[in-house]
Every structure is written in structure tokens, then in C-alpha cells.
Structure 1
Amino acid sequence: MDFSDIYQRMKFKAYEISKEERIQLTDYLKSAGSTSQVESHAALLVFCYSSDPVAENVKLVRKFLAKQTDDYARAAAVTGLYRIWRLGAPSDIDDLLGVLALWSVESRYDTSIAAIGCAFLLMHLLQNQRLSFALGRLLETLHEEVRRENDLAVGLFRYACLSAYDNWAQSNGQRRTHFDTIEEALPVYWDRQKYLLESMN
């Protein structure tokens, strides 16, 4: 199956997968080698968009959060769990915070990007103070690492600032924006409290 083609058709042409395609898709995701395949990225997105977050489905997607999973595929699992299905129980937030905490592992870059975006989304959606606190700390840590010329942190910092602004804009009916440079990201960082939740303390 061409999972990428099916995903594009679902995204732009309101395509619904057939019963036979669903069986093939599920069998593929359950297969032993699927966690190491880049193709699993599109397969997971198709699965999550076409399935409900019942326990069996969530368990299958969580399989792709494992350490040995291909990073691009793991990023799709994060996207599926927290952006598509928007899981927000305390245990789900615990897991997402655990993913965020591993940002410094170079082999998890795509996963970290996905987790940052999902965390900002759920922070606003759930008004979750734990996510707000963690994201504030992450922004500060990434900024310090950028100052130390940590190349890994540069892209994550830029994306975190963009995600902070973008999710705030969507939640407050403001115009979304896009930027690509550290110089454009810094104004968001300096005003970061605006893009987080107001502290309850």
C-alpha cells in the first residue's frame, strides 16, 4: 500500500479508506518491522485520522513511541496521539512531558518538533498549567543552549517560538504568522509569558 498517497487523498480529497485498506493498514502497523520504517509516518497518520482513540488503537500507536522507532515514524505517533486524537488525561500529559524532556537527544529531533507543537496545542485546549510550566522552562533552556551555539537547539528554539505564537494566535482570533530565523523568533521569546497560561499562583 502507498500510505503517503492515501494520506494525501484523505487530506485533500476527503477520501475514506476501504475495509480492505484498513485491514492491510492495521496488519502493517502490527508487524514487527513497522517501527523501523519511514513509511510508518504516513501509515500512522492515515490510521489516526480514520480511527477512533479506543484503547486498542491507542495501544497500537503507542508502540511507535519506543526508543528504537524511526524518528519520523515516532513523530507521527506523537502527532496522532496528541494532535489528531488530542488525548489529554493526566497520564497522557505525563507521557507527553516525558517526550518533551528528551529534546536534547539528536536522534529524536522530529519527535521533539512534533511534541512541542502538540504541547502548545493541548496547553491552550485544556488550559493545562503543567504544560504551560514545562513549555516555559523548555523555551528558557533552548534559548540558553542557542546562546551556547548548540546547533540542535537552534531549530527547536525557532519552532518552539513559532508554535507558541501560532497556537496563541489561533486561540485568541489573531492572525497567524510564519518566520524562519532566530532574529524573528526572539521577540516571541522575550514576551514569552504572553504566549503561556497565566500562572495560578
Structure 2
Amino acid sequence: MDFSDIYQRIKFEEYNISEDERAQLTEYLRSARSISRTESHAGLLVFCYSSEPTPENVELVRKFLAKHVEDYTRSAAVTGLYRVWKLGATADIDDLLSFLALSLDETRHDTSLAAIGCAFLLMHRLNDRRLSTALMRLLETLHDEVGRENDFAVGLFRYACWPAYDNWALRNGQRRTHFDTIEDALPVYWDRPKYLLEPIN
């Protein structure tokens, strides 16, 4: 099966996978080889977009959150669980918090990008202050690393500021935009409390 082709058809053609395709995909994701193959990224997205978050399905996708899973594949599991299925139980928030804490690990770049975006989404949807606090800390840490000329942190900082702004813009009817430079991101950073939840006094 060409998972990437099916994913594009789901996104742009409202394609519904057949029961035979679903059975093949599920069998593949259950196989041991799936955790180390990049095509599992698209396979996981197809699975999440075409399946309900039943306990069995969630358990299958959560297998791909493990630290030994290929990074690009793990990022799809994060996206599927928290953006597609919008899971938000305490255990899910705990997972996102642990991913945010590892954002400066260069071997987890794709996972970090997915986790940051999902964390901003769930922070607003659930009004979750633990995520807000962690995201504030992450923004400040990344900004410090940018000041130390950490090249890896530059892209991550720019990306982290974008979902901060984008989720706020969506909720407030403002114009959405893309951040291409540090100069685009810095105004969001300087006004960062605006894009997070107000602390409880």
C-alpha cells in the first residue's frame, strides 16, 4: 500500500479507505518493522483520520510514542493522538509535557515540532495551565539558546512562536500568517503572555 498517496487522497479528495485497506494498514502498524520505517508516518495519519479513537486503536498508536521509534514516525503518532483525535486525558497531557521537556534533543526534532503545535492546540481547547506553564518555559529556554547562537534552537524558536500566534489568531478572528525569520517570531515572544493562559493568582 502507498500510505502517502492514500493520505493525500484523504486530505484533498475526501477519500474513505476500504475495509481491505484498513485491515492491511492495521496489520502493518501492528508489525515489528513498522516502528523503524519512515512510511509509517503517513500510515499512522491515514489510520487516525480513518478510524475512531477506540481504546484498542489508541493503544496501537501509542506504541509509536516510545523513545526507540524513528523520530519522523513518532511525530505522526503525536499528531494523530492529539491533533486528529484531540485526546486530552491526564496521561495525554503528561506525555505532551514530557515531549516538551525534551525539545532541545536534536534527535527528536520532528517529535518536538508536532508536540509544540499540539500543546498549544490542547492548551486552549482544555484551558490547561500545566501546558501553558510548560510552553512559557520552553519559549524562554529557546530564546536563551538563540542568544547563545544555538543553530538548532533558531528554527525551533521560530516554529514555537508560530503556533502560539496562530492559535490565538484563530480564536480571535485575526489574520493568520507564516513566520519565515526570527524577526517575525520575536514580537510574539516579547508579548508571550498574550498567547498563553493567564496565571491563577
Shift of 1:94: 0.6
Aligned length: 201
**What per-residue deviation string (whole Å, max 9, x for no partner) do you get for residues 91-110 of structure 1?**
11011101111111111000
Answer yes or no: is 1:17 the counterpart of 2:17: yes
Q: Which segments of structure 1 move beyond 2 Å, counting only runs of 4 or more?
A: none
Q: Distance in 2 between matches of 1:40 and 1:63?
A: 12
Q: Aligned partner of 1:153: which letter? A: A
Name the % identity. Answer: 74
Please list the CA deviations of residues 73-122 of structure 1 after superposition, one character each: whole Å capped at 9, or x if unmatched: 10000000100011111111011101111111111000000000000000
Correspondence for 2:86: 86
RMSD between superposed Cα atoms in Å: 0.7
**Alignment correspondent of 2:70:** 70
CA distance in 1, matches of 2:194, 2:113: 21
Q: Give distance in 1, aligned partners of 2:114 and 2:153.
A: 15
CA distance in 1: counterparts of 2:142 and 2:100, whole angstroms? 12
Say if 2:187 is the partner of 1:191.
no
Is 1:105 the counterpart of 2:102 in the alignment?
Answer: no
Equivalent residue number for residue 5 of structure 1? 5
Structure 1 residues 51-86: Cα deviation after superposition (integer angstroms, max 9, x where no partner): 111111111111111111111110000000100011
Measure, in 1, the Cα distance between the counterparts of 2:126 and 2:56: 24
| Distance apart, 1:172 and its partner CA | 1.4
Partners of 1:91 and 1:72 in 2: CA distance: 22
Inter-partner Cα distance in structure 2 for 1:125 and 1:172? 14
Distance 1:131 1:179 in 2: 22
Aligned counterparts of 2:189 and 2:53: Cα–Cα separation in 1: 34
Amino acid at match of 1:200: I
1:97 alignment partner, SS class = helix
Counterpart of 1:109, as a letter, is H
Give distance in 1, aligned partners of 2:37 and 2:140. Answer: 34
The answer on 1:121 being equivalent to 2:121 is yes
Q: TM-score, normalised by structure 2?
A: 0.98
**Counterpart residue identity of residue 175, structure 1:** R
How high is the TM-score relative to the length of structure 1? Answer: 0.98
- Whether 2:174 is the aligned partner of 1:174: answer yes
Displacement of 1:183 in angstroms is: 1.1
Map 1:148-167 to 2 at 5 A.
148-167=148-167
Q: Which amino acid aligns with 1:148?
A: R
The farther-off stretch of 134-143 and 148-157 is 148-157
Q: Deviations over 1:126-170 (max 9, x none)?
A: 111111111000000000011011111111100000110001111
2: CA distance, partners of 1:139 / 1:43: 31
SS at match of 2:199: coil
- Unpaired runs of at least 5, structure 2: none
CA shift, 1:23, in A, is: 0.3
Residues in 2 aligned to 1:68 and 1:130: alpha-carbon distance in whole angstroms: 26
